[in-house]
Chain A
């Protein structure tokens, strides 16, 4: 009983840590720098993107 409790506690801690690391990574990457533009981005019609079009 105490054994499995201990395991679960440690497991939950690891899960929390994983979330925390993802968050830190996101902050570091500047994911929260612009919260205005991304919501418009989904409205862009991204027709077949002609990557590296020759001018």
Chain B
């Protein structure tokens, strides 16, 4: 059995994430 983690939808801030 695979380990379960609560699924989360993360909205990425493009300026912070990619510069």
A binds B: no
Interface residue ranges, B against A (CB under 8 Å) = none
